[in-house]
Chains A and B, each alone.
Chain A
Amino acid sequence: MNTASHALDHHDGHHPTGLLRWLTTTNHKDIGTMYLSFSLLMFFVGGAMILGVRAELFQPGLQLMKPEFFNQLIGVHALVMIFAALMPAATGFANWMIPLMIGAPDMALPRLNNWGFWLLPPAALLLTMPFFLALFGIGDGAVATGWTLYAPLSVQGGIGVDFAIFSIHILGISSIMGSINIIATILNMRAPGMTLMKMPLFCWGWLVTAVLLIITLPVLAGGVTMLLTDRHFGTHFFNAAGGGDPILFQHLFWFFGHPEVYILLLPVWGLMPHVLSTFTRKPIYGHTAQVWSFVAIGVLGLIVWAHHFLTSGLPVPALLYFMYSTMSISLPLAVLFFCWIATMWRGAMSFETPMLFALGFIVLFGIAGLTGLVLADVAADAQYHHSYFVVAHFHYALFAGGIMGVMTGVYYWLPKWTGHMYSEKLGKLHFWLTVISFNFTFMPQFFLGLAGMPRRIPDYALQFAEFNAISTVGAFALGLSQLIFAYNVWRCVKGGDKATDRVWEGTEGLEWELSSPPPHHSWETQPVIKAG
């Protein structure tokens, strides 16, 4: 690669400062920072909600809250974590890193980028506002249907459902703006010589993610709009008494909802090879195979949605189709796992915090994959559906796969973003506490599910008490461990040892050619990627 040297050049004097800077910025790094900060804030908001739930579940019986409020906490926790914590974190990564990785000065559509971010805070406010309105006697609280908003429960719900519908619309618009921008940036702004197959895997992961979002979001938007018209305008899309079909809503929701899992995970899968390659000091194994695995997972992810409601009375041929198609996703996913392991094979490994999180991700996400195969089986799913087994499975996927993946990325890129090294000691403490407490929280939930405990209930039979108590203690330890993460990030932003431009010994890629932190305009001189 032929790159020019880029000295740190802030141009601070020529840009708005203070609040105005953040309101009006079109700089990809500023917007990336806003996405990540917002994500961290909402991660704690969503986390606090579920600690309330776990506190209630510490013992059988109702101790702390009414069942309605319990249901609201569960539903809003999921919506906040998925739409306001994980997705913005991945978008923050995209904003920060894609231009740096492909040699572009900024995102292709910077104003759209600014609007995309500023839609998020009002959407999050809409989602959580019914909690506060209920305090003043307005409405009956937030959406209490779970994040799936299944009809007919959601048709009959209170104003929290309306707030959730509008919030989902706004979050969807924000995601569409982000996706269009990412597609335009990746396709149009790659440095000369950077062909699509030479593009970093993180960008590939995001390209597939953005296409998936564009294809699936209209389905969710249509579904929740139909729900809104059923609630207020006399339509009967999902009302069986009026000739509608409640199962249609499940099809609409999961046609978006299942690809959403890959939308949350593909950016992380794209990041992993870079981290593994850096800390094993070896090139990425199977770049092309991983690219095609991303594409295959994206395509297969669009045609397996109904495995989320195998117990709802689908015809047998449909059950067989969705079972086998869901299982087939394990093939490209296995290719990814194989490539990750092969990248590490006989490498000169070192175990800095990002590498620890990457390894934790591989092991724990592997458990999510294997338990997913169990749930894809129609016969087994008949027993485990709507049990705590499912809750444990998707938290191994979305916490260990998604959030720990995001933490891998934060520790990996934080020195590049801030110009300072974070505390390795605190990072490792955070990792070990997170992994141990995570398993204490969610491993017992597999056993609870196997023993037959249903999900989304505030009270349970006495036989489930011990595992629930362990899970609650684990959840509080997990929540408190994340304060170390927040403190470490804050400490790193404020100062610390100076990071070098390359930061890590084994790094490769355009982004490491820039200074740490990168200049205000990322690539003032176009890098050129040479053949080979």
Chain B
Amino acid sequence: MAITMKEAAGARSWVARPNCSLTPILRRGVIALILVASLVISAAFLLAGAWLVLPFAGLELFLLYLALRAIDRRAFDYESIQLDDDSLIVSTRLSSASFQQRFHAAWARVTLEAADGPDPLVCIRSHGHAARVGRLLTPDERRLLFSDLSRHLARPH
């Protein structure tokens, strides 16, 4: 996991993404390689009369596909905070579900929930609404994000 902070023309953004070294091309390549090898072998045994190899190979390839798909779903996850003079926008995409919340920068307050616990979360509140961020970060990174965000929100807008 990594968080990047950018600052340009008075606007700041923090983006956290999980580390994924498996590119979609490599993922497809791995599945294709194992699929072709398994099917060739299963087909050869099928022709030799050992047809029960094929269902086991199919089941196993299905499991591999599910595992890589689960990884794929997480590959595009992100948590982003954009702060400019007027607004603070929290955007998240976790396991294919996307959310976006907009807060007024002058009214938004940031707290660290369960700060002393093992799993603190950065919480942004305003006008009865709240957004929790930091799920893609380690506890230490969440504390860093909290202090960074607090410092910037405390500045006059």
Contacts from A to B (Cβ < 8 Å): 11, 13-14, 105, 108-109, 112, 176, 180-181, 183-184, 187-192, 194, 211, 214-215, 217-219, 221-223, 225-226, 229, 237, 244-245, 248, 251-252, 255, 302, 521, 524-526
B37 at the interface (CB under 8 A from A): yes
State whether A218 and B34 are in contact (beta carbons under 8 Å apart), knowing that A194-B21, A226-B50, A526-B1 are contacts in the complex: no
Other-chain residue from B55, B57, B138 in contact with A524 (beta carbon distance below 8 A) = B138
Which residue of B has the minimal Cβ distance to A177? B63
Quick check: B63 and A180 within 8 Å, CB to CB?
yes
CA–CA, A251 to B67, complex, Å?
30
Cβ proximity bits B96-131 to A, threshold 8 Å, 1 near / 0 not: 000000000000000000000111000000000000
Quick check: B50 and A524 within 8 Å, CB to CB?
no
A210 CB → nearest B CB, Å: 10
B2 at the interface (CB under 8 A from A): yes
Which stretch from B40-48, B77-85, B86-94, B147-155 is at the chain A interface? B40-48
Which residue of A has the minimal Cβ distance to B33? A211
Quick check: A109 and B19 within 8 Å, CB to CB?
no
Quick check: A189 and B49 within 8 Å, CB to CB?
no
Quick check: A252 and B50 within 8 Å, CB to CB?
yes
B133 CB → nearest A CB, Å: 18
Other-chain residue from A176, A192, A217, A222 in contact with B50 (beta carbon distance below 8 A) = A222
B20 at the interface (CB under 8 A from A): yes
Other-chain residue from A188, A214, A525 in contact with B20 (beta carbon distance below 8 A) = A188
Contacts of B139 in A (CB 8 A): 524
State whether A222 and B56 are in contact (beta carbons under 8 Å apart), knowing that A183-B30, A194-B21, A251-B48 are contacts in the complex: yes
Identify whether the interface residues of B are mostly helix, strand, loop, or mixed: helix
Which residue of A has the minimal Cβ distance to B38? A215
Contacts of A194 in B (CB 8 A): 21
Which residue of B has the minimal Cβ distance to A228? B52
Identify whether the interface residues of A are mostly helix, strand, loop, or mixed: helix
Q: Can you list 16 A-B contacts (CB < 8 A)?
A: A180-B63, A181-B67, A187-B22, A187-B26, A188-B71, A192-B21, A194-B21, A215-B37, A218-B53, A218-B57, A221-B56, A223-B50, A226-B52, A245-B49, A252-B50, A525-B140
B residues contacting the other copy or chain, number (CB 8 A): 41
Other-chain residue from B19, B27, B34, B48 in contact with A191 (beta carbon distance below 8 A) = B19
Quick check: A187 and B56 within 8 Å, CB to CB?
no
B45, B48, B55: which has the most chain A beta carbons within 10 Å? Answer: B45
3 tightest A-B CB contacts, nearest first: A222-B53, A218-B56, A188-B22
Which residue of B has the minimal Cβ distance to A219? B53
A87 CB → nearest B CB, Å: 17
A-B pairs under 8 A by CB, number: 115
Contacts of B37 in A (CB 8 A): 215, 302
B42, B50, B53, B141: which has the most chain A beta carbons within 10 Å? Answer: B50
CA–CA, A66 to B43, complex, Å?
43
Other A-B pairs beyond A176-B63, A248-B49, A524-B139, 6, CB < 8 Å: A188-B71, A222-B45, A225-B52, A251-B48, A252-B50, A302-B41
CA–CA, A229 to B52, complex, Å?
10
B15 at the interface (CB under 8 A from A): no
Quick check: B21 and A252 within 8 Å, CB to CB?
no
Contacts of A11 in B (CB 8 A): 118
A185 CB → nearest B CB, Å: 10
B33 CB → nearest A CB, Å: 8
State whether A525 and B138 are in contact (beta carbons under 8 Å apart), knowing that A180-B67, A218-B42 are contacts in the complex: yes
Which residue of A has the minimal Cβ distance to B37? A215
B64 at the interface (CB under 8 A from A): yes
CA–CA, A521 to B141, complex, Å?
14
Contacts of A217 in B (CB 8 A): 56, 60
CA–CA, A57 to B67, complex, Å?
49
CA–CA, A378 to B117, complex, Å?
68
CA–CA, A225 to B54, complex, Å?
12
B11 at the interface (CB under 8 A from A): no
Contacts of A184 in B (CB 8 A): 22, 67-68, 71
